[in-house]
Amino acid sequence: MISRLKLMVAAGTAVILAVAATGASNLVRQREAAAWRAAEQALESSAMAVENALDRQLLQVDGALASFATLFEVAQIGPGQRDAASRLLRGLNFQTMAFRDLLLVGPDGSVIASARSSGARHGLPLAVAMVGRAPTDLIGPLRNVVTGDWSLYVARRIPAWHGVAPVAEVPLHTLMKLLGETGISPGTQISLERANGQVVATLPHDELLIGKARAAALPEGVVNGKAFMLGSRGSENGTLNVVRSSLYGDIRVILSATNAVLLADWRQDRDRTITAAIVGALLLSAFAGAILLAIHQRERADAERARAAGVLDNAIEAMSDGFVMWDEDDRLVTCNQRYRELYALSAPFMTVGTHFEEIIRKGAELGQYPQMTVDIDEFVKEIASWHRQGSGAMERLLPDGRWLLITERRMKAGGTVGIRTDITALKAALAELAAANIRANEAAEEARQQNAALIEQESRIRFLAHHDDLTSLQNRFSFRSQIAKSLRRAGGEAGAVALLFLDLDRFKDVNDTLGHPVGDQLLLSVAERLATCVRDTDCVARLGGDEFAVLSLGREQPQQAQALGASIIEVLSQPYIIKERTISISASIGIAVADGPDFDADLLLKQADLALYQAKALGRGVCCVFTAEMDEQLRARIELEADLREAIEERQFELSYQPIFDLNSSKLCGFEALLRWHHPERGLVAPAEFVPLAEETRLIVDLGEWVLRQACTDAAQLPGDLRIAVNLSPVQLIFGDAVATVRDILRETGLDPERLELEITETALLANDNRNLGTLRSLKELGVRIVLDDFGTGYSSLSHLRLFPLDKVKIDRSFVRDMTAHSDSAAIVTAVAALAAELGMTTTAEGIETQDQLDAVDRAGCTEAQGYLLGKPHPILHAVHATLFRRSPRKRSGQRGGRAVDTSETL
């Protein structure tokens, strides 16, 4: 029993041992087979991931090259335009890291354009005569002569470019680094080879193999994507290999790993199993451990496959462009998140297996395609037709305003791969380039026009340097040169030089009243008439404004010059018809004569100017020859002007006041302020001597303001309602701000405006009717009284009494003086007084020096009187005292308006 039992035990043990040994042996063999299967699957998955990564990179490069024809056409750049093409290539090169350089290469391999300055090199073996070849060709590996790196060159055939091809340089070390990041197992080698066995690149890098043929050819019957052995499985030097062809059939990916690397885990498991079987006390425990280990190995294999699939998905998702793949039936296989983001409205319908046309239709219904101009069915039909061609590129606008470049390519195994690139920035750059071209063309045209204008202006400037712009006569500069030349010729047979200096009388009135266009036309007519008066040898010039000059040589001077001047005055005095207006002017002429080189141009001009000044002083239409006395008069005038300026600064002036009486009440009603100048050396200077000079030099503006302020200050100190009368010069009305000045002085002195009378001559009214009318009305609005002074002495017009806001008319002393001797003067005074009374104005008779004159103006109806008989001018306090405490001359008994006048009444 025991033997049997032993046998049974032995047999059992033997059986158990045999079973254990057999089981262990079988288990080791099974696990070896499992290890090989796992290694094959892992290597095949890694090969697929590497091949997909390679395809994506080459597709991205190929997509970029495929868009060149469109981009160059949009930018209106030909492949032969080196500089423009290089700029465009540089802009494209910065958009992606898939390639290092972009080139345009001719059929002979010469580099036409490059995105990098260093790319413009010669000698690259890049012959790209691609007629009859595939649309895309891969050239290399080639060593970059600049960087020393190995590169792969991707060339794209563009039929319309006649052999010129766009080429992208892909650095192999960058490409292999990217492939090495796809998650391959440690110890796995990657090799890129051509179909003929030429090694393109390896990872790890082996410099000795690059560009050379594989040492041993691959066995026949190798299945694409399936693992196969080179060498024996039992040898550690044997290798497991996987070959996968890329989308570009000339390039294939080979992954290989040695048996030592692949079976390292299995050998460790084998050793553990044998050790466990020998040492283990319990077969069940050993068997259970083996089962558990088998399960563990299976999980590791599944995890490895899942990781490889994840790496592939991550690589697709990491693309900056949208990626999509359709099967041969145009159903969606996969797409990345970027693709869904670009087609946000269509994204909900992008599920695996959905047909291409269905996704397009749903997107069109939701407004995914803003460029759609036909109905949805027609649009879907057009897009599907283009999609099925599987080649080419098109641009599409998104609803958010971005632009996409759509490129699609048919795969050899069927189906389509599509890339969606955001080219919004590129479109903007092209638009800016087009706008810049337009601006450049406009700038060139503007520069051409400016150049033509500058040439014309330069010619005009040369002319104007010596001629007057309006009349085309010689100008002052050219005329001075002509005078100098004539003076050098003067004397002897040539005779003396005569300079005639012309000034047009009343031209300013014409210019101010009729406007500058009429004035310019009048100056042109004067220049034309002057040309008819002179000889061909004479010279006519316009010196500025209404000043002209004539230079004449003659043996009998100044007689010839005087005759010429008289002729000019006669011709210029004839009426002018300008713009249907008849205009009459005259001319004043000053003549200076020089008979030798002792004279210069400045001296001759100065003498002619002095003579002209004398001629204008004598009246209009006068011709005057220079004499030495004129120079003395000019010096005296200059000295008087200097003294006058000094007197204004040092306040050498004072005011005297002459009383004015009301003839009705026989009472003092006011004073007239009269200016007096006490010069420290000249003594008392008469107003008739310095006031005209002050008006001519416009010093009267400041002087008149002082007079007005002082008179108002003095009047404000007087009791009662006595008025103060101040003369207002025509120059103050034209060049000063009379209204503001009067307003400020009244505010400063506190004088009641009704106590201020401003006396204005008829000459001032005639100077500028419209402007003066507005000024006087503004003064009237301040409350001051406006008085017309010296009525009847100038160009008296009864319309002035109606047109201007006058309160009083002052009858000139010349009429008052003649009233007692000439009845017509008395009649005029009576008529003016009656007319003023009807218009609501008062009248003041000036220059009363006798009792008879006082009686006469009283009978004539004047309301006020002023003169030496009634009171001489004195300082304000003296004038008031002397007037109020003296007896007036006795008036004769008589009737005035039916009322008896008491001749004993004191004025």
Using CA atoms, how far apart are residues 805 and 808, in angstroms rounded to an integer?
10
Q: Is the pLDDT of residue 127 over 60?
A: no
How many C-beta atoms lie closer than 10 Å to residue 905's C-beta? 13
Q: Is the pLDDT of residue 23 over 60?
A: yes
The answer to whether residues 255 and 119 belong to one domain is yes
Q: SS3 of 659, please?
A: strand
- Look at 175 and 655; give whichever has higher pLDDT: 655
Using CA atoms, how far apart are residues 228 and 220, in angstroms rounded to an integer?
11
pLDDT (0 to 100) of residue 884:
59
Among candidate residues 767, 705, 766, 711, the one with its CA nearest the CA of residue 736: 705
pLDDT (0 to 100) of residue 739:
93
The answer to whether residues 229 and 360 belong to one domain is no
pLDDT (0 to 100) of residue 125:
59
Q: Tell me the pLDDT band of 837, cut-offs 50, 70 and 90.
A: very high
Structure tokens at 560: 């010839």
How far separated are the first and last CA of the chain, in Å rounded?
A: 188
The answer to whether residues 663 and 601 belong to one domain is no
Report helix angle 2-66 to 264-279, nearest 10: 170
Check residue 331 and report its DSSP letter. Answer: B
Using CA atoms, how far apart are residues 470 and 465, in angstroms rounded to an integer?
13
Domain with 328 in it: what CATH number? 3.30.450.20
Q: SS3 of 670, please?
A: strand
Domain with 792 in it: what CATH number? 3.20.20.450
703 neighbors 732 (Cβ within 8 angstroms): no
Q: Is the pLDDT of residue 24 over 90?
A: no
Q: Which domain holds residue 397?
A: 322-422
Angle value at C-alpha 744, between 740 and 748, nearest 5 degrees: 175
246 neighbors 259 (Cβ within 8 angstroms): no
pLDDT (0 to 100) of residue 814:
87
pLDDT (0 to 100) of residue 163:
77
Q: Residue-wise over 530-544: b if at least 16 C-beta within 10 A, else e?
A: beebbeeebbbbbbe
Structure tokens at 823: 């009845």
Residue with the two structure tokens 């992008």 = 350
Q: For residue 887, what are the CA distances in angstroms to 493, 668, 858, 882, 891?
A: 78, 12, 18, 10, 12
34 neighbors 72 (Cβ within 8 angstroms): no
The answer to whether position 728 is within a domain reads yes
- Look at 635 and 780; give whichever has higher pLDDT: 780
Range of 67-71, 482-486, 854-858 with top mean pLDDT: 854-858
Cis peptide before 873 (omega within 30 of 0): no
Range of 226-230, 236-240, 868-872 with top mean pLDDT: 868-872
Average pLDDT on 328-354 reads 87
- Look at 895 and 164; give whichever has higher pLDDT: 164
pLDDT (0 to 100) of residue 180:
80
Using CA atoms, how far apart are residues 362 and 415, in angstroms rounded to an integer?
22
Distance of CA 677 to the CA centre of its chain: 60
Using CA atoms, how far apart are residues 259 and 237, in angstroms rounded to an integer?
6
pLDDT (0 to 100) of residue 903:
31
pTM comes to 0.43
Backbone angles phi, psi at 555, to 5 degrees: -80, -25
Q: State the amino acid at position 173 in one-letter form.
A: H
Residue with the two structure tokens 């196969």 = 228
Max CA-CA distance within the chain?
200
866 neighbors 645 (Cβ within 8 angstroms): no
HEC per residue, 671-733: EEEEEEEEECCCEEECHHHHHHHHHHCCCHHHHHHHHHHHHHHHHHCCCCCCEEEEECCHHHH
CA atoms within 13 A on the CB side of 309: 8
The answer to whether residues 676 and 610 belong to one domain is no
The answer to whether position 805 is within a domain reads yes
How many C-beta atoms lie closer than 10 Å to residue 514's C-beta? 16
Sheet harboring 239-245: ordered strands across? 199-203, 189-194, 251-258, 239-245, 227-230
The answer to whether position 174 is within a domain reads yes
- Look at 131 and 193; give whichever has higher pLDDT: 193
Structure tokens at 110: 């010469």
835 neighbors 811 (Cβ within 8 angstroms): no
Among candidate residues 834, 835, 831, 833, the one with its CA nearest the CA of residue 843: 833
pLDDT (0 to 100) of residue 451:
86
Q: SS3 of 422, please?
A: strand
Q: What percent of the chain has pLDDT over 90?
A: 21
pLDDT (0 to 100) of residue 465:
78
Q: What percent of the chain has pLDDT over 70?
A: 85
Q: Is the pLDDT of residue 887 over 60?
A: no
The answer to whether residues 111 and 260 belong to one domain is yes
Q: For residue 822, what are the CA distances in angstroms to 142, 816, 817, 850, 858?
A: 130, 10, 9, 16, 16
Q: For residue 90, what are the CA distances in angstroms to 51, 99, 120, 418, 888?
A: 29, 12, 12, 25, 111
Run of H or E including 808: strand 808-811
Beta-bridge partners for 789? 761
Among candidate residues 844, 850, 847, the one with its CA nearest the CA of residue 889: 850
Using CA atoms, how far apart are residues 338 and 315, in angstroms rounded to an integer?
12
Which residues, 6+ apart, have CB-to-CB distance to 371 below 8 Å?
A: 396, 397
The answer to whether residues 206 and 57 belong to one domain is yes
The answer to whether residues 606 and 658 belong to one domain is no
User: Which range is least confidently modeled, 13-17, 371-375, 769-773, 887-891?
Assistant: 887-891
The pLDDT tens digits for 529-579 are 999 999 988 899 998 888 999 998 888 888 888 899 999 999 999 999 998
Among candidate residues 420, 421, 415, the one with its CA nearest the CA of residue 325: 415
The answer to whether position 764 is within a domain reads yes
- Look at 283 and 415; give whichever has higher pLDDT: 415
The answer to whether position 555 is within a domain reads yes
User: Which range is least confidently modeled, 89-98, 247-256, 336-345, 786-795?
Assistant: 89-98
The answer to whether position 16 is within a domain reads no
Q: Tell me the pLDDT band of 130, cut-offs 50, 70 and 90.
A: very low
Q: Tell me the pLDDT band of 890, cut-offs 50, 70 and 90.
A: very low
Which residues, 6+ apart, have CB-to-CB distance to 274 below 8 Å?
A: 24, 28
CA atoms within 13 A on the CB side of 367: 3
Structure tokens at 561: 């010059």
pLDDT (0 to 100) of residue 886:
46
The answer to whether residues 754 and 612 belong to one domain is no
HEC per residue, 435-476: HHHHHHHHHHHHHHHHHHHHHHHHHHHHHHCCECCCCCCECH
Structure tokens at 608: 């002619």
Q: Is the pLDDT of residue 905 over 50?
A: no
Using CA atoms, how far apart are residues 799 and 533, in angstroms rounded to an integer?
41
Q: Is the pLDDT of residue 906 over 50?
A: no
How many C-beta atoms lie closer than 10 Å to residue 831's C-beta? 12
The answer to whether residues 227 and 92 belong to one domain is yes
pLDDT (0 to 100) of residue 889:
44
Q: Residue-wise over 159-177: b if at least 16 C-beta within 10 A, else e?
A: eebebbbbbbbbbbebbbe
The pLDDT tens digits for 523-538 are 999 999 999 999 988 8
Q: SS3 of 592, please?
A: strand
The pLDDT tens digits for 189-203 are 888 888 787 888 888
Average pLDDT on 99-105 reads 80
Residue with the two structure tokens 């090989």 = 36
The answer to whether residues 492 and 585 belong to one domain is yes
The answer to whether position 454 is within a domain reads no
The pLDDT tens digits for 442-477 are 888 888 888 888 888 887 788 777 888 888 898 888
269 neighbors 31 (Cβ within 8 angstroms): yes
Q: Tell me the pLDDT band of 131, cut-offs 50, 70 and 90.
A: very low
The answer to whether residues 616 and 657 belong to one domain is no
Residue with the two structure tokens 């249907």 = 580
Q: Tell me the pLDDT band of 810, cut-offs 50, 70 and 90.
A: very high
Helices (H) and strands (E) in the chain, counts: 28, 33
657 neighbors 876 (Cβ within 8 angstroms): yes
262 neighbors 35 (Cβ within 8 angstroms): yes
The answer to whether residues 696 and 743 belong to one domain is yes
How many C-beta atoms lie closer than 10 Å to residue 507's C-beta? 20
Using CA atoms, how far apart are residues 470 and 434, in angstroms rounded to an integer?
47
Q: Is the pLDDT of residue 182 over 70?
A: yes
Q: Residue-wise over 587-608: b if at least 16 C-beta within 10 A, else e?
A: bbbbbbbbbeeebebeebbbbb
Mean predicted lDDT score pLDDT of the chain: 81
Q: State the amino acid at position 579 in one-letter form.
A: K
Q: Is the pLDDT of residue 287 over 70?
A: no
Using CA atoms, how far apart are residues 66 and 740, in angstroms rounded to an integer?
82
User: Which range is least confidently modeled, 147-156, 307-316, 782-791?
Assistant: 307-316
407 neighbors 418 (Cβ within 8 angstroms): yes
Range of 116-130, 185-199, 340-354, 839-853 with top mean pLDDT: 839-853
pLDDT (0 to 100) of residue 896:
46
The answer to whether position 179 is within a domain reads yes
Residue with the two structure tokens 């959905």 = 354
Among candidate residues 597, 592, 602, 589, the one with its CA nearest the CA of residue 552: 592
- Total structural domains in the chain? 4
Q: For residue 120, what are the CA distances in angstroms to 2, 90, 110, 112, 170?
A: 98, 12, 9, 7, 16
Using CA atoms, how far apart are residues 800 and 766, in angstroms rounded to an integer?
9
Among candidate residues 505, 768, 751, the one with its CA nearest the CA of residue 612: 505
Domain with 514 in it: what CATH number? 3.30.70.270
Q: State the amino acid at position 242 in one-letter form.
A: V
HEC per residue, 523-552: HHHHHHHHHHHCCCCCEEEEEECCEEEEEE
